[in-house]
Structures are given as C-alpha cells and as structure tokens.
Structure 1
Amino acid sequence: MSAYQGFRWLQLWHELIGRRSGGDLVLVVGERDGEPVFIWPFGVWRCGPARIARWLGGKYNNYNLGIWALEELSTANSKRVMKALREIAATAKIDSYELINQPEVWDGLRNPFMCLSHTPSPSNSYRLDLERDFEALYTRRRSSRSRRTLRRKRETMAQSGEIRFIHGTDKDSVLRIVEALVEQRDARAHAVGIPSIFSERGALELTRDVLLDGLTCTEGPLMQAHALEVDGIIRATYVGGIYGERYSCFLNSFRDDELTASSPGEQLLHDLIEFSCEGGLKQLDLGVGEERYKTSWCDPDPLFDSFIPITGTGKLYARLREMRQSVKRSIKNNPALWQAIKKARKLRSRAGL
C-alpha cells in the first residue's frame, strides 16, 4: 500500500470531503482460505444515471493502489481481478469503475490492475531511490554545475538571516507550517490562474488534522510537515506521508518574495532528501505532474487509469471519461500547447476573470 491508503487518511478525507460530495462507502475485503488478501477502499458516486466507483481519496491521492498482501499482489491475474469487480458491482449496484493514478509497479511488483484494460494517466509521478550516503546520491543525480548554483544561491540566501530546516514535531510548529503552506499555495494559485486546493471545503482541515494526528499516532501511515525558514520567516514547505520506507509528497509551496531568486523550494527539497536519507528511507516521490524541480532529482514513475464498465450505462460513461483523459494527456504532452494554456490562465487571473 501507499501512504494514501492509510486508514486515518481515508477516514478524515471521507468525513471532511468525500461524504459531502454524496459518495457511498464501498469497502471491499478479499479473502482466500479465510484470510484477507486485499482491501479495496472504494466509494460510489452518482453521475447522471450512472453509479461510478472510485478510489477513496480522489484527486488528493497521488497514488491509488489498494491494500494488498504481497503474495496476492504478485500472483493476481486479470480473471480473478475482473471476477471480483463484477461481484462487487452486483452487490453495490455499480455501473462503471473509474480508477485513476494507479502505479504500474509498487515495491518492484506489477500492479494487478495492469492486467485489465487501461490507459496512461495524463501525467506521471516522480520517484527517487534513496541511499544512506546523501552526498554520493547528490553527486550522481545532480551535475557539478547545478550543485555549484544551488550552493551559491544558499550563500546569497544566508545573507538575509539564519537558515533553518524545520521538522514539525509539535503542535505549534505544525500549525505554523500549515499556515504558511495555505498562504503560499493560495498566492501561487492566484498568480497562475488556477483554483487553490484550499478553496475546496475541508482541504485545510484534512491537511491540518492528519498532521496533528501524526504527532501522536504510533502505527500506520503518517503525514509530516517540513519547512525552510530564513530570518524567522517560512519561505518554503513540504507536507508528505511516510509509510514503510517511502516518503510521498502530498503538498509543497514556496513564498514569492525577495528571496525567490535563491530558490527556497529547491533548497528545502535538498534538505528534505538529505533528511530522508539520514532517516533510513529507501524511496521518495514528489507526486503527480511535470515540473523541473522533480525531473532534476527523480525518474518518471508511470501511472495509469482504468475505466472498467459493467453495464450498458457504464460503457457510455467509461468511454466519455477515457476520451476526456486522452485529450488531457495529449495537451500535457504538447509543450507548446501546454505553455499556451498556462499563459492564458495567468492573463485571465490578472484580468480578474
């Protein structure tokens, strides 16, 4: 499983966001010889005349995998998976499944849903294999020129005041980081002409509550908060989930001010990767979407979407959603067109439209 399939994460998401959107819980446990071998945390939403099953967590999850026993993950096949989906659909009156942002491979094992009809997701995620020796990793992943540039920017940043890497380990530090995260994400969203994630009801409470829970929870996936502070001001933030030996970035942000040219977000990412290496983590991912700071450190981690119809009504819905995702993927894979769309968003935002 990934951090996004943790019980408390999905429980909070459902209480604060999912239930408000009218979703019904469909929590599936698959058993073999009386022992659970998978848990699929689904919800079902009505879309027009169709009832559509999706992973709980929706767009908040960078990865949707379900929860698998390792032996089942390595042996499941299309016949068994499809049989289970049909049985679930009959019980929960599901017309179609819409299962997005699924990793092709997890922990070196192929995702069983790859056995079924699927299409590439519009964007990849990005993953980095870590090691204890951060300096060796840094030297291998980043060129000498980029390392010199980052070091020079850090020296310039230090002229403005003390630089501190903050790991939110108490309520006050977590709430301070969340406040900076919201302010910086809202400002950035306005600048580029897109809605902020925190404009959705429940998003702030979800982020805050799961972080505060992580301060006292002793089992299961946790979300942690980190920040880069310069001269007493938080200039960049990262919030991510940790499960097993993997860190998964959920949200990040940077402050647009006089230190922006010194790349506070990139400085914090450097420190976070070093912190993760020293903590013994084996992998780190930076979530969905193509950005230069991701590709400078990480390798693409391909994702796929499954639109699996069960009924005639479901077939029409699945086909339309598949076409929409295909158009979105084509746009994002066309750099000139994607840049034009981002420029149009900025212009519209500046015009107040």
Structure 2
Amino acid sequence: MDELTLRIYPSVRAAAPDLETPGLAGYAFARHAWLQAWADTFGAQAHIEPAIVVMAGVRIQMVLPLGITRRNGLRTLEFLGGIVTDYNAPAIDPDFARSLDATAVQALWRRITAALPSHDVVCLTRMPVTLDPPEGAVGERVPNPLALLPGVNAAGQARSVTFPDRYEALTGTLRPRFWADTQRCRRRLAEVGPIAFVVADDDAGMRALIVSLKRMKSRRWRETHSKDWFAVPAFSDFYDAMARIDLPEGRIHGSSLNVSGTAVAAHLGLVYRSRFYLLLIGWEADGWRRFSTGRLMTETLLRQAFDEGLRVFDFTVGEEAYKDDWANALMPLVRYDEAITARGRFATVLMTARDRLRARATQVAWLRRIVRWLAGRPLA
C-alpha cells in the first residue's frame, strides 16, 4: 500500500478518465456519467467542493468520489451524489479490496483524510458492505473496505431479488394470495383495453416518459403528505439530465405500462452490468387504483430483467413495505461518522443530544413542544 500514489481531483470532470476505469468492483453510482449529472444539477447548487480520491500503482486500485460541504456550520466530508444516489461506495480493484484487513483499512483511511482539504467531520452514509464484481469476473462478491472502518454503525438494508434459473421458481416463493391477486389485477386491467409494456428507446419517448413520471410521483408525494421533490428545481433537473446520460457497461432504462395507449404506470431506472436498479416508479390514481398498476409495473419489470438474463433486480434503499412482497435478498448498509476537529467533536456531542431528545420527544408531550421550537434553528 505504501507504494501506491494518491491523487485528489477538485472536480468530477477532471476525474472523468479515472472514474471510467474498467475492471473495478462497485456500482453504477460511482461512474463519471452519473456523478457528472449530479454535479451539474444538485452539486452546482449545493456548493460542494469535490475531492475525488484516486489510489494507483501500475494501474488504478481505487476511486473514492468524496466531497466537502458546509452543513450546520461544519465542513463535512461526505460522498458525492447526495439524495439521488442510493449506494455510496468506492470503485475498487477486487484483489486490492480482498487484501485489506481492518488495520490496513484504518491506515489507508488516515492517509486519505490527511491528504484531503481540511474538514471538521466525516459523514459517510448508505454504504453497502459488499460490491458487485466487474462484469465477467468469476468469484464471490467483493468486500467494501470502508465497512471495516472502526466504529461503523448499521444503517438499514437494501432489498433485491436474486433470480433463480426459472421465473416460475421465483413466483413460487411469493405469498400465494399476493401472487394470485396480482394475476387477477392483470386480467381485470386487460378487460379495460390492450396492455402494452413500452420502453422509451429515443429522446422523444424519454421526454414524454419523464413528464408522465414527474406528474405521477408529485401527486403521490402530495397524497402521502411527503415532500414533493419534483418541486425542487435541482431534483427535477437531475432526472432530466439522468435520462440523457451514456452509461458505460449499462444504460438508462425508462418504460411505461400502457392501456389502450395511455400510460397508467411509469418507471425510470438503470441497468448496469448484471443488475437492474429500480429507482423511480409512479402510477396513475383515480379509477386506476383498483388495478394496482404500480404492482403490475413492478412485476413486468421483473419479468423483463429475468428474460434479459440479468442476475439481480435491485429495489435499492428505502423501507417501503411493497418491497417485502417481492424481495428474496437483503444487503446490509452501514454508515461511518467521525469528528476530526475540536469544533467537530463539540458539534457531534450536540447532534447526539439532539437526536436523543427527538427520540424521547415521541413519548413526552412537553419535549415535543421544545423540539418543534428548536426545529430549523442553527445547531449552535
């Protein structure tokens, strides 16, 4: 490890050649195309200072897309990609990853942080404990060395479907009542009109899909009293940019479920190596609700991914209950938090106290009033 050189890029564009290094284990979210779409939208407005770490010897061993932003008055080291990136992880040579134990990882991390611009705290979230191997590689999944950092904490899990040899073997593991109801919904929908699964395969089709999907998701968020993210310009702009990116070893996948030519459900995600990422799915309301068109869209995407020969259908992060109806595999996620400076250590104590106060406030009325009063006020 001492023989490896370390370089740090101040922008995603400058790091583009290294971010496109073939043969590294990881996920689609660490590729240049994805990070550049984020940098041109969210990143441009969030004033994040990229600090993309590359470790190389004869060839590149690891690419770590990090950045520094100011949050609560603190300079915070975090992954690039923000809320639109489901998995935060390095792109890494599989043999290099497997050679690192906890002691080596800690030494490597100290070397990296010492070379980075000054920061008060580290906040690395949504880190999967394992990585997809390079396409065509033989062997098990690749360990994520950052999951060995001292003091990492469990941070939920991602759900997915690992495909068996036959599709019927997958549907046979589903709850019988759930699968029977899904088939019944499809039959009833077919009585309304011809059902067609339409993949957006040109710019015009993708633009039309994005318009429909934004409308469906915004309505759903408002119905559930959640934040309408498409009302945030940077969020909306990111998905416009995402739909146009050229992803090496993969592609953006946009599609809709149509009845008599009308889109009743839509999805925008991606295919990368042997994994299908379900990222953003929406469906129409009103009279279409009784047909469970979102569920039918999910099952249609599953079938297409299986027929394409992909190995994993990934529901990614999030605790939405519908994922449990389909998933047969779980991937643990971890997070790593560290205070670097005295200012960072003091703020960490305050944030820990605040989080405990919020947890306690769910059970004590007068504490809830205090928490509401504190909401939105600066941490200091």
Q: TM-score range by the shorter chain?
A: 0.7 to 0.9
What is the match of residue 296 of structure 1? Answer: 325
The one-letter code sitting in structure 2 at the alignment partner of 1:174 is: M
What is the match of residue 169 of structure 2? Answer: 136
The answer to which of 162-171 and 72-81 deviates more is 72-81
Q: CA deviation at 1:74?
A: 1.6
The answer to which of 161-170 and 309-318 deviates more is 309-318
Aligned counterparts of 2:198 and 2:125: Cα–Cα separation in 1: 33
**Aligned to 2:255, which of 223, 226, 239?**
226
**Aligned to 1:96, which of 104, 112, 121?**
121
Q: CA deviation at 1:67?
A: 0.7
Aligned counterparts of 2:323 and 2:189: Cα–Cα separation in 1: 22
TM-score by length of 2: 0.79
Partner SS for 2:245: helix
Q: CA deviation at 1:220?
A: 4.1
Asked if 1:72 is matched to 2:106, the reply is no
What is the match of residue 58 of structure 1? Answer: 82
User: Between Structure 1 and Structure 2, which shows a larger proportion of helix residues?
Assistant: 1
The one-letter code sitting in structure 2 at the alignment partner of 1:278 is: D
| Structure index of larger Rg | 2
Q: CA deviation at 1:166?
A: 1.4
**Aligned to 1:119, which of 153, 177, 181?**
153
Q: CA deviation at 1:177?
A: 1.3
Aligned counterparts of 2:29 and 2:217: Cα–Cα separation in 1: 21
What is the match of residue 342 of structure 1? Answer: none
Partner SS for 1:94: coil
Q: CA deviation at 1:287?
A: 1.9
Query: What's the RMSD between the two structures over aligned residues?
Result: 2.4
Deviation by residue 1:112-158 (Cα, 9 ceiling, x = unmatched): 1221211122x422111024522222222x13322221111111111
Q: CA deviation at 1:180?
A: 1.1
- Unaligned stretches of 5+ in structure 1? 337-353
Deviation by residue 1:236-263 (Cα, 9 ceiling, x = unmatched): 1222122210111221111112121111
What is the match of residue 5 of structure 1? Answer: 30
Residues 1:131 and 1:77: Cα distance change in structure 2 (over 3 Å): same
- Unaligned stretches of 5+ in structure 2? 1-25, 133-140, 364-380
Aligned counterparts of 1:88 and 1:247: Cα–Cα separation in 2: 32
Q: CA deviation at 1:315?
A: 2.6
Deviation by residue 1:144-200 (Cα, 9 ceiling, x = unmatched): 322221111111111221111111111122112111110011101111111122122
The answer to which of 93-102 and 42-51 deviates more is 42-51
**Aligned to 2:180, which of 130, 138, 148?**
148
Aligned counterparts of 1:96 and 1:322: Cα–Cα separation in 2: 14
The one-letter code sitting in structure 2 at the alignment partner of 1:315 is: R
Count of aligned positions = 326
